[in-house]
Amino acid sequence: MLAIEGIDTYYGESQALFGLSLEVGAGEVVALLGANGAGKTTTLRSILGLTRPRRGRVSFDGRDVTREPTHQIARAGVGWVPDDRRVFPALSVARNLAISVKQTRFRSWSLKECFEVFSALEHLMARDCENLSGGEMQMVAIARMLMGGPGLVLLDEPSQGLAPRIVQQVMATVKRLRSEGAGVLLVEQNLDTAIEVADRAYVLDRGSIVFAGTAAQLKGDEALRRRLLGA
Ligand code: ATP
């Protein structure tokens, strides 16, 4: 679903990613781990063309999107939930969701299906987003992405600051996306949450991949986790 080959990404003259390669298959959940500043968000921004790689290639769904504009990449079926959620604060939840519906070649979730995973959402529809809690806003951000017909889902620290019950709902959504054949790239600070749900994991350190393997490998090897993540 996603293939990144040898990308170098810069902010001005400062290089943030060094020859980074990774893959996410259809029906696969892949965790992207690493310390603060390792380059996880920059990797997501590079996929979306928000911070364009200077070298290397990004392919989505069999097509080279390295030079495509961000809106076109989104319209092709790359769904993104940024770490700051970015809902429209002055608009109601219903309006935020309605303007997110897109037709892609992948399945768009219906409102009803979003309510099935986030039951609280149904009762928030008339509220303006600026009056929501962080957890409620995250539900809106995820529902919006689901209604946009994603084939690949980029989640930037989706459980950050959320109550355990909502984290569970987010992870249930990730599992359902996988069972439906979407690819999920999950940036997560909470290592336990990430390796519980992920099939494979990459660990980034200062812009380079220092580990690529199965989540089970990471889960079963505390010394490896400590070495890679200080966890
Ligand atoms: P965090 O968990 O803190 O979000 P991260 O792994 O997502 O960390 P990035 O945000 O991708 O890391 O940052 C990678 C590197 O790029 C860091 O050295 C960071 O200081 C730098 N960086 C990130 N955004 C910018 C920017 N807008 N301008 C300049 N440098 C940036």
Q: What is the pLDDT of residues 37-73, one digit of tens each?
A: 999 999 999 999 999 999 999 999 999 999 999 999 9
Distance between Cα 114 and ligand 1 center (Å): 31
In this model, does residue 94 exceed pLDDT 70? Answer: yes
Whole-number CA gyration radius for the chain:
17
pLDDT of residue 231: 62
Name the residue at shortest CA distance from atom 27 of ligand 1: 11
Over range 189-203, report the average pLDDT.
Answer: 91
Q: Which two tokens stand for residue 203?
A: 């660990």
> How many Cβ atoms sit within 10 Å of the Cβ of residue 117?
19
Q: Is the minimum distance from the CB of 17 to ligand 1 under 6 angstroms?
A: no
pLDDT tens sequence across 108-123: 999 999 999 999 999 9
Mean predicted lDDT score pLDDT of the chain: 94
Distance between Cα 39 and ligand 1 center (Å): 6
Choose one of 7, 8, 10, 11 to mutate for the ligand 1 pocket test, by most ligand atoms within 8 angstroms of C-beta: 11
State the closest ligand 1 atom to the C-alpha of 51, by its place in the atom list counted from 1.
Answer: 27
Distance between Cα 17 and ligand 1 center (Å): 10
Choose one of 4, 8, 14, 186 to mutate for the ligand 1 pocket test, by most ligand atoms within 8 angstroms of C-beta: 14
Q: How far apart are CA 29 and CA 153, in angstroms?
A: 9
DSSP assignment of 159-215: TTT--HHHHHHHHHHHHHHHHTT-EEEEE-S-HHHHHHH-SEEEEEETTEEEEEEEH
pTM over 0.90: yes
Where on the phi/psi map is residue 152: left (φ > 0), alpha (ψ -120 to 50), or beta? beta
Q: Is the minimum distance from the CB of 40 to ligand 1 under 6 angstroms?
A: yes
Over pLDDT 70: what percentage of the chain?
Answer: 100
pLDDT of residue 199: 97
pLDDT tens sequence across 120-174: 999 999 999 999 999 999 999 999 999 999 999 999 999 888 889 999 999 999 9
Name the residue at shortest CA distance from atom 3 of ligand 1: 36
Q: Is the minimum distance from the CB of 36 to ligand 1 under 6 angstroms?
A: yes
Q: Is the minimum distance from the CB of 16 to ligand 1 under 6 angstroms?
A: yes
State the closest ligand 1 atom to the C-alpha of 187, by its place in the atom list counted from 1.
Answer: 7
> How many Cβ atoms sit within 10 Å of the Cβ of residue 130?
11
pLDDT of residue 160: 87
Instruction: Please state which architecture CATH assigns to domain 25-50+76-229.
Output: 3-Layer(aba) Sandwich (3.40)
ipTM of predicted assembly, 2 dp: 0.95
Distance between Cα 206 and ligand 1 center (Å): 10
